[in-house]
Structure 1
Amino acid sequence: MKRVIRLLLAAVAVSVFASGCAVNRATATVDPSANLDKLRVVQVRRLEGEDGTIQKLIASNLRKRGYEVSEDAKPPEKVDAVVTYVDKWLWDITMYLSELTVTVRELKSDYPLATGNSLHTSLTRRSPPEMVDEVVGNIFKESEKSK
């Protein structure tokens, strides 16, 4: 009987400690007053100090979804929204994108119309294009739900 209890305790301990290594979360929120369907032209702002990799991936993803996208530092005359992002990279044998937050903002007030976030630890990591697609896709899925 003691042996069975020890085995059960060992199994529980292993599952508790091992499960902490694999975290994966994807969320999106859209302001109820926001109508993302009306957006046609967006500007993706590069994160200061970043090389532009994630900016280009977000811009490309939005273009595939039918948006006209500007990546210039100065927005064009007629921009419907500004897209900002924050990326977090970690090291685990190789560098990987651990967390990405994308925010669609109103141009004049900088008010966040929609925000998407994705977090993947090393064991559930995804490539940067997959992370961008997950976050941007979840924003637009959430927008569809809130109609």
Structure 2
Amino acid sequence: MRGKFFSKLIVLVSLIAFTGCANVIVKSDSDPNVNLGELKTFYVQNFAPDKRGLEKIIAEKLNVYGFNATSGVSPTPPDSVDVLVTYRDRWMWDITNYMIEITIEFHDPESNFTFTSGRSYRTSLARKDPEVMIEEVLQDLFKRNADKSI
């Protein structure tokens, strides 16, 4: 009797411990009045603490989607663009360093109004490369925007 209780207790504690370590959240939101498909030019501004060049990866992904995207460290785009893209990344240590979260925001370059934002959050057991997390945020941003126009 006592053995069954302890066995069940061990299983319960294990489930709680391990399921808490594998969280994945990908979500985005967009102003319903903005059609992302109409935007053509993007400037991805480097997040000052980031030394990994994530702004370049974001710009590359946007270029693959057919947009004209550039990136840099300047707080203002060097040329006239439709969208100013900003991001914030967070990293954690769990045996190795990994990106736990990235948030990407699209702003009007003149007013700095944020009209679209997306986030990917992955804990240690669900970790992915930054390229994958950036891709899933952008996919969700554009998918949600396309769904609103249907």
Bucket of the pairwise TM-score, normalised by the shorter protein: over 0.9
Q: Which residue of 1 aligns with 2:99?
A: 97
Alignment-derived partner of residue 82 in structure 2: 80
Q: CA RMSD in A?
A: 1.5
Task: Please name the residue that 1:45 is paired with.
Answer: 45
Shift, 1:50, TM fit: 2.4
* CA displacement at 1:104 relative to structure 2: 0.7
Query: Which segments of 5 or more consecutive residues in structure 2 lack a partner in the other structure?
Result: none
Query: Aligned partners of 2:125 and 2:53: how far apart in 1?
Result: 23
CA–CA distance in 1 between the matches of 2:13 and 2:77?
Answer: 54
Structure 2 residue corresponding to 1:115, chosen from 105, 114, 117: 117
User: Which stretches of structure 1, 4 residues or longer, exceed 4 Å deviation after superposition?
Assistant: none
Superimposed CA distance per residue, residues 44-76 of structure 1 (whole angstroms, 9 cap, x where no aligned partner): 011123225100000000000011112142424
SS in 1 for 2:110: coil
Q: Deviations over 1:51-104 (max 9, x none)?
A: 251000000000000111121424244311111000001112221111000001
What is the identity, as a one-letter code, of the residue corresponding to 1:124?
A: A
User: What's the counterpart of residue 9 of structure 1?
Assistant: 9
Give the aligned partner of residue 19 of structure 2.
19
* Percent identical residues: 31
Q: Give the residue type in structure 2 aligned to 1:97.
A: M
* Cα distance change of structure 1 residues 52 and 41 upon mapping to structure 2, 3 Å threshold: farther
Output one character per residue of 1:10-64: Cα deviation in whole Å (capped at 9) or x when no partner: 2112101121111111111111111111100011011123225100000000000
SS, match of residue 22 in structure 2:
coil
How many residues matched? 147
**By how many angstroms is 1:124 displaced?**
0.8
Normalised by the length of structure 2, the TM-score is 0.90
Matched residue, 2:139: 137
**TM-score w.r.t. length of structure 1:** 0.92
